Amino acid sequence: MRAAKQFMQLGAAALLLVADASAQNPAGTVRQGQEVFAKTCATGYCHGAKGASGGAPRLVGRGFDQAFIANTVSRGIPGTGMPSFANTLTRPDLVAVVAYVATLNGIAEPAVSMAGGPPAQPALTGDAARGQKLFTEAVRGFGRCSTCHEVGGFGIPVASPIVTVPASAAALKAIATPNLKTAKLDGESMPALVLSEGKQRVIFYDFTSAPPVQRTAEPGAVTFAAGSSWQHSSAIGAYNDSELAQILVYLRGAIKP
């Protein structure tokens, strides 16, 4: 027991020394993180080079804070292809990757100390925890909220960010969608969310089916009329009212005014 305790103390001391060395050379830690990211994360099935989008969403310019990045890299995202790297990467590589991704999100001087390990987000409990799981639950297929909404770095930001949380499940079903229009393309009408209308091309999401499909057309080939028959209730039919109420509890705690 004494030998094991001494070994653990030596290991902790060595870890602190490495942390001190990293703190003295943050630029080196970021470069190390870039190299680890390129080998581990920037693959065809995951994130693109330098945090661009690939098989997984882009990481660059998302506004993530370092605590969230560290928590996600360490724990992974259940129900997705994002695994936990806590036991896959060495401690220095883990901290380096977190620091590198932090720089991709505008953090000029990311923390590189490993003494306390990656900072963790407070654990949710009760209805908030159940609502968070329901928001991204893989068994819902494309009927889950995260198909179109991003909250706390989870999900796909097809729709505009959620600013106001509805008061009830009924209000969530009846929520207005004023940004949706009716597009006409090749003799076909469809509910559409316009992303851009340029001189060379028009880009919009087609909401005919889930998940919405991003389409591109020449400016003269597509027209848009105000209003749409699409209703928000059609996208959340995989949830019952009790589950929607739990999702609302989660959103009230996760979305900052």
Neighbours of 152 (CB within 10 A): 19
Side by side, which strands form the sheet with 222-226? 213-217, 202-206, 188-197, 181-185, 222-226
SS (H, E, C) the chain: CHHHHHHHHHHHHHHHHHHHHHHHCHHHHHHHHHHHHHHHCCCCCCCCHHHCCCCCCCCCCCCCCHHHHHHHHHHCCCCCCCCCCCCCCCHHHHHHHHHHHHHHCCCCCCCCCCCCCCCCCCCCCHHHHHHHHHHHCHHHHHHCHHHCCEECCEECCCCCCCCCCCCCHHHHHCCCCCCCEEEEECCEEEEEEEEEECCCCEEEEECCCCCCEEEEECHHHEEEEECCCCCHHHHCCCCCHHHHHHHHHHHHHHCCC
Per-residue model confidence as pLDDT tens for the chain (257 residues): 443 444 333 333 333 333 333 444 688 899 999 999 988 888 766 888 888 887 788 898 888 888 888 888 888 876 677 888 887 888 888 899 999 999 999 998 888 765 444 444 456 889 999 999 999 888 888 899 988 888 876 777 788 788 899 999 999 999 999 999 999 999 999 999 998 888 889 999 999 998 899 899 998 999 999 999 999 999 999 999 999 999 999 999 888 65
Tokens matching residue 124: 């949710």
Q: Considering just the CA atoms, what is the radius of gyration of the chain in Å? A: 22
CB-CB contact of 70 with 86 (8 Å): no
pLDDT at 154: 73
CA distance 125 to 73: 21
Half-sphere exposure of 108 (CA within 13 A, CB side): 0
Provide the terminal-to-terminal Cα distance of the chain, rounded to the nearest Å. Answer: 52
pLDDT value, residue 5: 40
Structure tokens at 139: 């068994």
What integer pLDDT is reported at residue 9 of this predicted model?
39
This prediction has a pTM of: 0.57
The pLDDT value given to residue 54:
78
For residues 46 and 121, what is the distance between their CA atoms, to the nearest angstrom? Answer: 24
